[in-house]
């Protein structure tokens, strides 16, 4: 196969051209002195017409990572991120950990302080170049990424980039890290040749072992009341109909526990909510699909006799230092591949399973659950300060049916259910705060014609670098609705303290330390300062109208909007 030849002046130009050739559409970045060759390469590309990823400025590194994260999960494409040497890498660490624990492929790159003090194009010429150098810049994130390397010479550019992208996208996917010394980027590269398309492919998704499938099928067939628990099966949209078909055929209820994707439509007859704890006493077999924490053992665990099957591309979550959930069977396979084949193995055994009895039990539990949720919505409708239940209920009524929800802890899915694959994205299990607002911008970038709504806690919003977020929304014309469920506290800290010390001094105290967030700024004014629509909501009766006004700003006026909703002090961060 003939190699493609490109006329460029520097390695930086070759780098941008190769990224574009490999399908990288956007380079999310916050620049520094190490970017000089990249800036020049972009300027030359604009003059010569050379293809390059579109540069997207984000004025904080964690915002850049969060935007890339949101873009990646919706588009299915790998974004590139570039930050400023060691300090920029440090600022982005939270976003890198979020992407790593959620298996999101990102080409995360950083400049490197110039290697030489003089003598080469790109050598040190600014005083910060000495203090910003580290002995091991990648050391601060090596545990979080699948692969890390430093580009050492332009001759290895194609191999390095292809290796980075194939490792990032091979299951289980995840971020990779590449550092780019300034002298290497600035080096001459007049005759750059490369394979187009690339001849280096990502590994295929793992498929299940037939013997293990037969064992799992026998276990599920013998169960009187089996249960499926999942968090991330819907990461692959093809797994959503596969799960729906499997659950329906064998009358197995599904719980989405701490879900990050829509795995099963909320209106499916087998959907039994978001908390497995009320069901665990009754079940005798559990199929855990792409779920790192299917239950919290210190609070509620299945009976000792319950048989447990784990399935996923890394069913034992090998990168977690400790994870002791029982696994009678562990199946290494992508859900979209394992579910049809498990169904085929289970079909001949279906006659021995009392599917009709399972279905009756499941329907009774679902009806009782739906009735309970309805009572909660009625009870919350007039509470003041507002209940997060009422916020979620009103949002469900106001949103477009095709809207995408980005939830950083505070939306309650039982009161704002999602029914379409690819319509819901939740926080990474790493729980690095500040993800949701930036992720919503990345989602909007990937789906510009769909309504995108980010639901955030007040703490999550503060961590998102709000001024940078609203600046990016305006600059890149990404009209998103931000709903801040503002309880003026670190709700997770409060719950953890009361959970450990229910009769302790903190429980009796009116003002325990480190929990209350007093004197918060007017969040709606931060959005308005960037040209968006902002409104504070304190009356539950006013919320539906406020949502309509905000969504009008987003959908008709094409500008961002923020509702600062003052809620009860019981929610998340």
334-361 confidence digits (pLDDT tens): 999 999 999 999 999 988 778 999 999 9
DSSP per position, 194-251: E-SS-S--PPPPP---HHHHHHHHHHHHH-SSEEEEESSGGGSTTHHHHHHHHHHHHT
SS3 call for 437: helix
Nearest to 108 by CA among 123, 128, 90, 124: 90
Nearest to 343 by CA among 249, 206, 444: 249
Question: The tokens 């806690």 sit on which residue?
Answer: 457
> Which are the contacts of 301, defined by CB distance < 8 A and separation ≥ 6?
280, 295
Cα–chain center distance at 485: 20
What's the confidence (pLDDT) of residue 571?
43
Name the token pair of 480. Answer: 């998103």
CATH topology for 4-194? Rossmann fold (3.40.50)
Residues in the chain with pLDDT values less than 70: 1, 569-573
Element (H, E) at 94: helix 85-101
Distance CA 548, CA 399 (A): 9
What's the confidence (pLDDT) of residue 572?
44
Contact in structure between 237 and 425 (CB atoms under 8 Å): no
Distance CA 401, CA 525 (A): 29
What's the confidence (pLDDT) of residue 570?
47
Per 3-state DSSP, what percentage of the chain is helix, strand, and coil (rounded to 5)? Answer: 40, 15, 40
Distance CA 441, CA 223 (A): 45
Contact in structure between 457 and 519 (CB atoms under 8 Å): no
Name the token pair of 415. Answer: 């009161």
What's the confidence (pLDDT) of residue 44?
96
Q: How far apart are the first and last CA of the chain?
A: 55
Domain 4-194 matches domain 210-367 at the CATH topology level = yes
Phi, psi angle pair for 483, to nearest 5°? -110, 110
Domain segments of the chain as ranges: 4-194, 210-367, 381-566
Phi, psi angle pair for 102, to nearest 5°? -105, 5
CATH topology for 210-367? Rossmann fold (3.40.50)
Distance CA 264, CA 269 (A): 10
Superfamily of domain 381-566: Thiamin diphosphate (ThDP)-binding fold, Pyr/PP domains (3.40.50.970)
């Amino acid at each position: 196969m003939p190699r493609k030849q490109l006329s460029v002046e520097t390695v930086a130009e070759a780098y941008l051209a190769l990224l574009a050739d490999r399908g990288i559409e956007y380079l999310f970045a916050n620049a520094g002195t190490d970017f000089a060759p990249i800036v020049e390469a972009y300027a030359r590309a604009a003059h010569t017409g050379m293809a390059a990823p579109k540069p997207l400025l984000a004025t904080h590194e964690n915002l850049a990572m969060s935007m890339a994260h949101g873009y990646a999960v919706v588009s299915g494409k790998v974004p590139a991120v570039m930050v400023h040497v060691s300090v920029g890498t440090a600022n982005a660490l939270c976003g890198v950990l979020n992407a790593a624990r959620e298996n999101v492929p990102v080409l995360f790159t950083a400049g490197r302080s110039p290697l030489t003090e003089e003598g080469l194009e790109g050598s040190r010429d600014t005083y910060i170049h000495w203090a910003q150098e580290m002995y091991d810049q990648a050391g601060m994130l090596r545990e979080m990424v699948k692969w890390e390397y430093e580009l050492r010479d332009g001759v290895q550019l194609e191999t390095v980039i292809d290796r980075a992208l194939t490792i990032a996208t091979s299951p289980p996917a995840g971020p990779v890290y590449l550092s780019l010394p300034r002298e290497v980027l600035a080096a001459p590269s007049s005759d750059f040749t490369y394979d187009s398309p690339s001849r280096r492919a990502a590994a295929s998704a793992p498929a299940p072992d037939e013997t293990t499938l037969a064992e799992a099928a026998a276990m599920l067939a013998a169960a009187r009341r089996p249960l499926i628990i999942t968090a991330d099966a819907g990461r692959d949209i093809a797994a959503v109909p596969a799960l729906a078909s499997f659950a329906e055929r064998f009358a197995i209820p599904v719980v989405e526990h701490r879900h990050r994707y829509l795995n099963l439509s909320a209106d499916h007859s087998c959907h039994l909510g978001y908390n497995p704890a009320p069901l665990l006493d009754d079940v005798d077999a559990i199929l855990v699909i792409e779920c790192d924490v299917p239950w919290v053992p210190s609070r509620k665990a299945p009976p000792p006799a319950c048989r447990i099957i784990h399935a996923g591309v890394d069913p034992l979550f090998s990168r977690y230092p400790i994870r002791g959930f029982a696994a009678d069977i562990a199946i290494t396979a992508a859900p979209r591949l394992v579910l049809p084949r498990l169904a085929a193995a289970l079909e001949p055994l279906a006659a021995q399973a009392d599917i009709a009895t399972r279905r009756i039990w499941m329907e009774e539990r679902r009806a009782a659950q739906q009735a309970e949720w309805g009572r909660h919505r009625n009870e919350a409708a007039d509470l003041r300060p507002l209940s997060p239940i009422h916020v979620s209920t009103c949002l469900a009524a106001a949103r477009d049916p095709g809207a995408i929800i980005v939830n950083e802890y505070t939306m309650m899915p039982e009161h704002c259910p999602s029914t379409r694959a690819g319509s819901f994205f939740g926080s990474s299990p790493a729980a690095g705060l500040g993800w949701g607002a930036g992720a919503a911008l990345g989602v909007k970038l990937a789906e510009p014609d769909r309504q995108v709504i980010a639901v955030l806690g007040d703490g999550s919003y503060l961590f998102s670098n709000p001024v940078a977020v609203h600046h990016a929304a305006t600059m890149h014309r990404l009209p998103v609705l931000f709903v801040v469920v503002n309880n003026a506290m670190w709700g997770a800290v409060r719950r953890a303290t009361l959970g450990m010390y229910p009769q302790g001094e903190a429980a009796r105290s009116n003002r325990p330390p480190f929990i209350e967030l007093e004197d918060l700024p007017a969040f709606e004014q931060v959005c308005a300062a960037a040209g968006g629509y902002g409104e504070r909501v304190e009356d539950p009766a006013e919320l539906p109208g406020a949502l309509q006004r905000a969504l009008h700003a987003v959908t008709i006026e094409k500008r961002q909007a923020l509702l600062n909703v003052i809620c009860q002090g019981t929610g998340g961060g």
